[in-house]
Amino acid sequence: MNKIDLFKPTNQNLILFLIIGISLFSLGIIDFILSSQFQVNLTGFLPKFLSFFTPLLFGTLGLHFIRIENSGIKILDRLNKNINTNNFNAALSISIIILLIFCVPPLLNWFILDANFSGDTKEACTGSGACWVYIKVWFNRFMYGMYPNPEQWRINLTFIIVLLLLVAGLFFPIKLKKYLTFYYIILLPIISFLLIFYLISGGSFGLEWVETGAWGGLSLTFIVSYFCLIFCFPIGMLFALGRRSELPVLKWTSIIFIEFWRGVPLITVLFMSAVMFPMFLPDGTYVDKLIRVIIAITLFEAAYTAEVIRGGLQALPRGQYDAAKSLGMGYWKMHIFVILPQALKLVIPGIANTFLALVKDTPLIFVVGLLELAGMLGLAKTNPQWLGFSMEGYVFAGIIFWIICYSMSKYSQKLELKFKTDR
């Protein structure tokens, strides 16, 4: 075999190329592990600069030799298709593997191996790893805030009922499918509000009254996110239609609304809703702080939702409007049955992005005295008995927010595939 054939792997010498490739790849990984974990440098005889890049070079060469098209080996073909399509992707894949080898062992030690899981006091945290005892002790506060412990079952029951009601819409019989929009936009928000008012707030049916100032933790994050999500979408849809309206008053009203809320920072909006808004109310009139915050965030996010939906409306060809009008459809019937289903399908990623931003913006409500998950973390880290353990709290919150956002992202991808049609 000549030199040119050596650098053009083929099926004719599959076994030979696999042996060379796997050997070089393994040599690169072993060299990095020995040098990073055991301070043993196999290439110490080379200049320091070359020795540093030797694992990357060996690994890239190894992946080059196993880059064989249609080898007949499923694992190898899948590997070449996903991470080994060319030398650049091979070098990038090796760099990621080296980075993981460098980062994973210390993180694993901190998270699990050297961490403390048992105990009820700060003194139980004796290792060099994470002190998950801190999360264990403060778990109820992180979940429910200052809500009374004996009454926390009310929050759990409310969330279970709302979740069942959300899922129930998926099992509607075909004859009732046409009422789904009414169910999710009007009926479900009303039922959810009543559940929160009577169950979580209490004050009736023999339940103890719990003021909203005692609400907090992850449950408050869910409450704010849930109501803002279900309200900002229809409001944003209406303003998107209004901005594209041919009626000047309606059009400019929508433009002013959208640009006003997009031009103001959310923290300013929250401050105005919590501090300034009560000053404009008549004497004796009181609106709960939580309601004011939900309204403020809803209007803020509705402006961004409106612009996302408007992008979908503008992407539709004019022929769709003409076709609907030729069938004798009026404005609302045309948009409900023809225009909006197509427009919303086009902007599912943008809508999901707006919803994700809304969920991650909820920690800002701590500036108005509402302690959701991030606010409770800030309260916990100032506790004299648990000073110095804020890292565990923020890691815990980060994992929760990642799970929430990742789940929403995967669901949006599922919707994209479900409604995907060739245009």
Indicate the domain borders of the chain. 3-113, 133-147+210-418
User: Which of residues 411 and 69 earns the better pLDDT score?
Assistant: 411
Q: What is the pLDDT of residue 45?
A: 66
What is the average pLDDT across 237-258?
92
Cα angle at 333 between 332 and 335, to 5 degrees?
65
Identity (one letter) of the amino acid at 179?
Y
User: Which of residues 165 and 274 earns the better pLDDT score?
Assistant: 165
SS3 assignment, position 419: coil
Alpha carbons 223 and 198: distance in angstroms, whole number: 14
Cα angle at 360 between 357 and 362, to 5 degrees?
110
The secondary element (H helix, E strand) that includes residue 189 is helix 188-195
Q: What is the pLDDT of residue 74?
A: 85
What is the average pLDDT across 386-413?
89
pLDDT > 50? residue 155 = yes
Query: How remote is the C-alpha of 217 from its chain's centroid?
Result: 18
Q: How confident is the model at residue 3 (pLDDT cuts 50, 70, 90)?
A: very low
Secondary-structure breakdown of the chain: helix, strand, coil percentages, each rounded to the nearest 5: 75, 0, 20
Q: Are 225 and 351 in contact (CB under 8 A)?
A: no
pLDDT tens for residues 12-36? 778 888 888 888 888 888 888 887 7
The CB density around residue 325, as the number of other CB atoms within 10 Å, is 13
**Does domain 133-147+210-418 fall into CATH 2.40.50.100?**
no
User: Measuring CA to CA, how many Å separate 397 from each of 346, 373, 391?
Assistant: 32, 7, 10
Q: What is the pLDDT of residue 198?
A: 85
Q: Are 407 and 225 in contact (CB under 8 A)?
A: no
- What's the mean per-residue pLDDT of the chain? 85
pLDDT > 50? residue 1 = no
Q: What is the pLDDT of residue 5?
A: 57
Q: What is the pLDDT of residue 50?
A: 67
Q: How confident is the model at residue 54 (pLDDT cuts 50, 70, 90)?
A: confident
Burial class (CB within 10 angstroms; exposed 0-12, middle 13-18, buried 19+) of 76? middle
pLDDT > 90? residue 239 = yes
Tokens of 273: 């809703």
pLDDT tens for residues 323-339? 888 888 888 888 888 88
Q: What is the pLDDT of residue 2?
A: 45
Identity (one letter) of the amino acid at 367?
V
The alpha helices in 208-247, defined as continuous H runs, are: 217-243
217: which strand partners? 372
Q: What is the pLDDT of residue 67?
A: 85
Weakest mean pLDDT among 3-17, 21-35, 148-162, 261-275: 3-17
Q: What is the pLDDT of residue 386?
A: 84
Tokens of 270: 């929250």
Q: What is the pLDDT of residue 282?
A: 77
Q: What is the pLDDT of residue 4?
A: 44
Alpha carbons 57 and 23: distance in angstroms, whole number: 13
Tokens of 420: 């995907």
Q: How confident is the model at residue 88 (pLDDT cuts 50, 70, 90)?
A: confident
pLDDT tens for residues 339-387? 888 888 889 889 999 999 999 888 888 888 888 888 898 888 888 888 8
pLDDT > 50? residue 132 = yes
